[in-house]
Structures are given as structure tokens and as C-alpha cells.
Structure 1
Amino acid sequence: MDMDTFWNDFQLVRTGNPLVLNVTNHVVTNNTANALLAAGASPIMTFSSREVEDLMKISGALVINIGTLNTQDIGLMHAAWSSANAMRVPVVFDPVGAGASTLRTSSSQELLSLYRPDIIRGNASEIMTLAGEAGQAKGVDSSLGADAAVAAARALAQMHSCTTVVSGEVDIVTDGNHVYRVNGGHALMPRVTGLGCTATAICGAFLAVNRNRNEAAVDAMALMAIAGGMAGAMAQGPGSLQMHFYDMLYSLKKSDAERLFSVTRD
């Protein structure tokens, strides 16, 4: 995992405009669509199981996000994920709030028992919950740092033969064997709704151009960290951070990426 891999993959996103199909929550549709567009990808959102098979045929990746669960959406997630697995479209799963309610936890567990994820991205509490450990959920947020979930992330990755991402002050990426730490970002980022969900969507964009799950996940979290750090340096608060964040995704230069890219391996 190095700067050259990241930058080459980012250029593939920018020039290839991969279509990322999102079955996501109703709070963040606008946020994640704008972030994908700013980064160079092409987002499409669906709320109907009747069209998922058609859309899957033209999609480079599928993002499943359970942030605002209801009965209809759960059925849609099953239909979309089943179709993606059948068509070998890579899937990124975001178990928003797993551990905060029985519905969120059981729905996540059921989906993972039936279908294959490529990347699972969550906060420490969500990842620990899905790995069978006791997390400390605070609504959809976590009261734990990413480091607290390293063992759980490795176990979850091994359990589902996927890559697990734990977002935090330092992001953790693991395939169950190697552990990568992505440094950067800004203290204001947790104050903006949907930046975790945005990270999940960006994972989808990179996975659409690089099927190496670890590399795609590190790419995505590095982009979030670099753009977030640059945006935070210019921001006066959460509102202006979000504005600057989109601008940094759109205008990021290689020289800035070289200066701020920081990934280590345990």
C-alpha cells in the first residue's frame, strides 16, 4: 500500500467515472452522491427492488447502508445484494448503528449470513458487535476508538473472507492478516452528518476500479483523510468543512496527496 497505488487508482476513478449503485439511508443520499461526483465517480441511488437487476448490469460496485431501516428497505437490500453476488459485482456494507438496536443488529447479521461482502466499513462499536464482542454504541456513533476494535476487525474479516474497515481518529483496514493504519483527517469530521457513510461510498468507487479489497479500502480511507484534513484546515466549523471537503475531493493535486498520504502496516 503506497502513494503510487493510491494516486493511480484515484486517477482511474476520475477518468473512468465508475457507476456506484447505492442502497443507502435517507439521511445521507445527497451527501454521498455529491462526494462520489466530486471524486469522479458516478452515483446512482435506488429505492426499488424492481430495478436492481437492471442497474446491477451497469454498476461497478454496490453500497449497502442500513442507516434508516424499514421493512421495504430490508427487502431491497436482500434483492440488491443477492443480485450483486450473482453478477460478481463487489459489495461494500455499512452496518450503521449495529449494536444500538435489535433490528439493526439482527438485520446486519442476517445479510452477512446470506451474502458475500467485499468490504465491511463501520465504527468500532459496529464492528465489535458484528464480531460478537461488546461494543459501546451511542446511537449510530461509537464511544470507542478504532484501536479498540482491531481484534474484532480481524476476526470479522476472517469470518467473511473480506476486508474490514474501522473508522476513527486513525482508520484501521484489515483482511484478517495484515493491519493497515490510515492517518490524517480532522477533528471536525465527526461533526458532519454522513462522513462515515461517505467513506463507505468512496470504498465502492475504488473497489469498482481495483478489485483488490485491501488496496481499495486503503485508497478510500486515505482519500477521506487527505481531503478531510485539507478541508478542516480551511473550515470555520462543520458547515464550511463539508463545503471544502467536496472541493478537495474535486481538486486534489498529486503534490498535496504526496505530502499528506500516511499509511503504516502493523
Structure 2
Amino acid sequence: MELISKIIENLKEVKGKSPLVHHITNYVTVNDCANIVLALGGSPVMADDIKEVEEMVSFASSLVINIGTLNERTISSMIKAGIKANELNIPVILDPVGVGATGLRTEAIKILLEKIKFAVIRGNMSEIKIIAGMDVKIKGVDSTASDEDALDIAKNLANKLNTVVAITGARDVITDGSRHCLVDNGHKILSMVTGTGCMSTSLIGAYVGTTNDYLQAAVAGIVTMGIAGEKAYESLAQGEGIGTFKVRLFDNIYNFCEEDLKVRGKVIYE
């Protein structure tokens, strides 16, 4: 419960301070990522032109880099913004969407990891295994990898890169290499709505913007999405589906509160 108490304080900070979360993200989910940050209480900005990213990130509380719809123009912007954020001690969060699916994505992630220090890397099992140098079959941007040994893989990668690694799936695994959390919140319907992973990363960006404990912030973003997904699903009536679910997901993020965490939080912390 100690971690839940800290997440509650982190949530209050987000709602009270409205951290500016600078995104260089993909155009499939950009609107949803902006609105999920707003719903939680943060302030999103979506700016990816290389002529303004350094200036924009200098105002921000955190930077989210998401490679979902990668192109050469935005790769340069990501590198420039990330380096500037590192210089200013602004935390950077990476969402390596679909890494391994193409050579461009794999090479881009390699370059980003070489040039930028990340506070948190959040991905599915396939994405994290690819970054860890393991052989994985890829299906578009979806995970096909087994969750077996997820904690060991995440710990090894976290220690190697000196970062927090978060693997989201049926059971979420978050670690900084020494501490780790397992989160059992969520519902499988979340996987049927495009962008819930991207939105989780954006929520992490909001939480990271108000704390130096990046493990705690990563858990906070993931458990927030999981609980909101559960409540949205439970509210569905017969005949309602993923369209209604998505609207109610946003409603539950907007109304997310201390009681949700106390009553529903399923977090194992070691």
C-alpha cells in the first residue's frame, strides 16, 4: 500500500500542477494521446518540426517519443529534442512501437538509444525483446511474443540501459533493475482499441513530469489505464461495444481518483 499512497500523491501533483508533456508521436493516435493527458490533468503539446522542438521541450516537464508512424523527418526531430531534454534534465519516455517490424524502425531505435538517455521505456513483450537483442517474430505493431521470463528480461534491459522498463500485457511488468512491480489491472478489451498502449505512455509522461521516481510514475500510468479500462468495460450495457468503451475510458481517466487506486489497485511491489 505504500506505493499506492505515493501514486495517489503523484496523481494529486498532476492535477495540481498540470505538467506540460511534449510529444513527438504518431499521427494514428496523436489526438487520443493529447486528450488522455488532458483528462488526467496534464497539459499536452504535439510539436515535431525540427525548427521548434528544442525550444518547445525546454518548456516541458517531460518528453514522450513514440515511433508509431516513423519517418526520416521526425527521427531527426526526436534526436534533437531528446538531446536537449537530457541537457536540461527533462525526463524522456520512449514508446518503441513496432520496433523489429522493419529495418527503419529497428535502426531508429538503435540510434535513439545511443544518443538519448531515457527515463522510461514502455512497450509490449515483442518490442522489449527486440530492444534486448532477442529473436522475435513480428506481426505489424502487435506483440506475438510469449510473456515467459518477462521480469528477468525487463530487469536485464533496465540494468543495461540504466532506465525503467515497462512491459504491458496480460500482467504488466515494471522495473528499474533493482525494484520491480507487477500490475494485474486492465481488461483484454483494451487491446481492441487502437492506441491504448500509446495513451498509457502519455499517462506515464504526465506522471513523470511531477516526480523523480520514474518507476513509481511508470506504475502510476499503467495502473491508471488498467483501472479505467476495467471500469469502462463494466459500465457497458448489452449491445454496446468498443466505441462506447473508448468514450467511457476517457470519462474514467477524467474522473480517476484516490478511491479508485485504494479499492482497485492490484500492484505487487518488491
Query: Which bin holds the TM-score, normalised by the shorter protein?
Result: over 0.9
For 1:29-68, list aligned pairs within 5 A.
29-68=30-69
Residue 137 (structure 1) aligned with residue 162 (structure 2): no
**Distance across 1 between alignment mates of 2:34 and 2:137:** 30
For 1:148-227, list aligned pairs within 5 A.
148-227=149-228
Deviation for aligned residue 1:179: 2.3
What is the aligned partner in structure 1 of residue 81 from structure 2? 80
Question: Under a length normalisation based on structure 1, what TM-score does the superposition of the two structures give?
Answer: 0.96
**Distance across 1 between alignment mates of 2:187 and 2:158:** 27
**Distance across 2 between alignment mates of 1:51 and 1:251:** 34
What is the aligned partner in structure 2 of residue 263 from structure 1? 267
**Distance across 2 between alignment mates of 1:195 and 1:43:** 16
Give the unaligned 5+ runs of structure 2. none
> Residue 246 of structure 1 is aligned with which of 247, 250, 262?
250
Residue 7 (structure 1) aligned with residue 11 (structure 2): no
Query: SS at the partner of 2:117?
Result: coil
Cα distance, 1:88–1:253 mapped onto 2, change above 3 Å: closer
**Distance across 2 between alignment mates of 1:158 and 1:255:** 34
Show CA shifts across 1:97-142 (max 9, x none). 0111111111101110111000000000000000011223211010
For 1:81-100, list aligned pairs within 5 A.
81-100=82-101
Identical counterparts, % of pairs: 35
What residue identity is the alignment partner of 1:245? L
Deviation for aligned residue 1:145: 4.8
Deviation for aligned residue 1:148: 4.4
Aligned length: 266
Question: Under a length normalisation based on structure 2, what TM-score does the superposition of the two structures give?
Answer: 0.95
What is the aligned partner in structure 1 of residue 129 from structure 2? 128
Give the unaligned 5+ runs of structure 1. none
**Distance across 2 between alignment mates of 1:131 and 1:35:** 29
Query: Is the CA contact (8 Å cut-off) linking 1:123 and 1:146 kept in structure 2?
Result: no
What residue identity is the alignment partner of 1:11? K
**Distance across 1 between alignment mates of 2:132 and 2:254:** 36
Query: SS at the partner of 1:137?
Result: coil
**Distance across 1 between alignment mates of 2:25 and 2:133:** 24
Deviation for aligned residue 1:92: 0.2
**Distance across 1 between alignment mates of 2:141 and 2:108:** 15
Query: SS at the partner of 1:134?
Result: coil
Deviation for aligned residue 1:146: 4.1
Deviation for aligned residue 1:25: 0.6
Query: Is the CA contact (8 Å cut-off) linking 2:3 and 2:269 kept in structure 1?
Result: no
**Distance across 1 between alignment mates of 2:114 and 2:89:** 17
Query: Is the CA contact (8 Å cut-off) linking 1:27 and 1:68 kept in structure 2?
Result: yes
Query: SS at the partner of 1:188?
Result: helix
Query: SS at the partner of 1:67?
Result: coil
**Distance across 2 between alignment mates of 1:161 and 1:231:** 35
What residue identity is the alignment partner of 2:106? T
CA RMSD of superposed structures (Å): 1.3
